[in-house]
Amino acid sequence: MKPVELGGIAGTGLAQRIIDVLGPTVQQHINLMDADAVVIASTDTGRIGSRHQGAEEVLRTGQPVLVSQPIAGHSDRPGINLPLVIDHDVCGVIGVTGEPKDVEPLAQVVALTVELLIEQDREHRTSAAAWRAARDLVTALSSGARARETAQELLSSAGMPRGPWTIGVWAARKARRDGSAIPPANAEQLVREINDGTSPGVPGRGRAVVWQGLLWAVVQGETLDEDLAGEDARRFITRGVQEVDVLSSWVQDMNGLSGRVALMPRSDEHFVPPQELTVLATRLTRDALGRLAQQVADLSAGQRAAICALAATNSLSEGARRLFLHRNTLLQRVTRIQELTGRDLRTPDDAVVLRLAVLAEAALADESRLHPEAGHNALKNG
């Protein structure tokens, strides 16, 4: 984290706001001096911009300086001047006027309060800057080739100039009423942790932002905890991306998930479809989804599970093992599916179409519940 420069907070008006709040409570004049011993905020605004001799000594020695008598030729008044210490460095001085022995305890409280407020402001500004950088990175990547150079510059400035990168999005399990994504409950905390490098789920450098209802994270390397947003969250993660153009294409594809969150895998799904198939489902129209979903509309839950298992394993034996079924039982389901759909799961092309049909049904599920007529019409149009 960058060292604190009090001159910077003077420019934002924070320094004077701090003094204006503390002054009436303390009922003494308060001066805030920067690392050059220049008064940058004061209850006596006429002193702003002047040099403070007591502050110069505090900055030189790092020790409090008591002024018992007015000093000829200087505007310093009796009081106490204390160093402001942030990250173990003296970055300025706080001065409180009055009889030193009377105001010293009060000055200690004022100094601690000012240090705390400055630290909080720095953390806020750092977090805000990192959030903007992450947002700019995701939007640049989503813009494709026309923003490639910008995306590369932002990756470099984040300390991630070269691949491999990992890109991930997370959403709450339940969608909004329109089927779009809701960020995980802990999304804002995760954004802060990933951006400041303290997230246990992201051991390397990373950038994170909440955008279009999704928690986004772009990290260096291939190590990224899928469950960092909680086991209940949906997630879609691509690892080992080597080229900026490929990273950009994945971001563009993931954008579609924000509107059809039901397509994002859950942690408890046993048969996660290929990512390319999920991406394809996000790009289909509602009518196309309805036409596909109609193909599996008459199937039971067990038959749908058989589709997912065989599409994932391409093996009756392995599919039966993962479904905890006898191989012959699964074969009977495959035969029945062929009778109902006209498609043979043992044929690769038919297996892909049926798996996409199950995905299409999931994509329409929320819409069908919330807008029954629209969902019925989508299926009917198939």
The band of 285, judged by pLDDT with boundaries at 50, 70 and 90, is very high
Give the pLDDT confidence score for residue 74 in this predicted structure: 62
Give the pLDDT confidence score for residue 18 in this predicted structure: 87
Spatial neighbors of 122 by CB under 8 A, at least 6 apart, are 1, 2, 4, 86
Give the pLDDT confidence score for residue 268 in this predicted structure: 84
- For the cut 80, the answer to whether the pLDDT of residue 133 exceeds it is yes
pLDDT digits over 349-369, tens only? Answer: 999 999 999 999 988 875 554
Give the pLDDT confidence score for residue 7 in this predicted structure: 56
Alpha-carbon distance 99 to 292, whole Å?
84
Cα(first)–Cα(last) distance of the chain, in Å?
57
Give the pLDDT confidence score for residue 316 in this predicted structure: 93
pLDDT digits over 210-225, tens only? Answer: 999 999 999 999 989 9
Give the pLDDT confidence score for residue 68 in this predicted structure: 80
- Average pLDDT taken over every residue of the chain: 87
Q: How many residues does the chain have?
A: 382
Positive or negative, the CA dihedral 107, 109, 113, 119 is positive
The band of 14, judged by pLDDT with boundaries at 50, 70 and 90, is confident
Give the pLDDT confidence score for residue 146 in this predicted structure: 79
Does domain 269-382 match CATH 1.10.10.2840?
Answer: yes
pLDDT digits over 298-345, tens only? Answer: 999 999 999 999 999 999 999 999 999 999 999 999 999 999 999 999
- Tell me the mean pLDDT in the region 170-174: 93
The band of 102, judged by pLDDT with boundaries at 50, 70 and 90, is confident
CA trace torsion 324, 295, 366, 190 (10° rounding): 60
pLDDT digits over 137-168, tens only? Answer: 999 999 987 788 999 999 999 999 999 999 99
CA-nearest of 310, 304, 334 to 322 is: 310
Domain boundaries, the chain: 6-129, 143-265, 269-382
Q: Domain 6-129 sits in which CATH superfamily? A: GAF domain (3.30.450.40)
Alpha-carbon distance 319 to 149, whole Å?
46
Give the pLDDT confidence score for residue 375 in this predicted structure: 34
- For the cut 80, the answer to whether the pLDDT of residue 85 exceeds it is yes
- For the cut 60, the answer to whether the pLDDT of residue 32 exceeds it is yes
The band of 380, judged by pLDDT with boundaries at 50, 70 and 90, is very low
The band of 27, judged by pLDDT with boundaries at 50, 70 and 90, is confident
- For the cut 60, the answer to whether the pLDDT of residue 60 exceeds it is yes
pLDDT over 70, % of the chain: 90
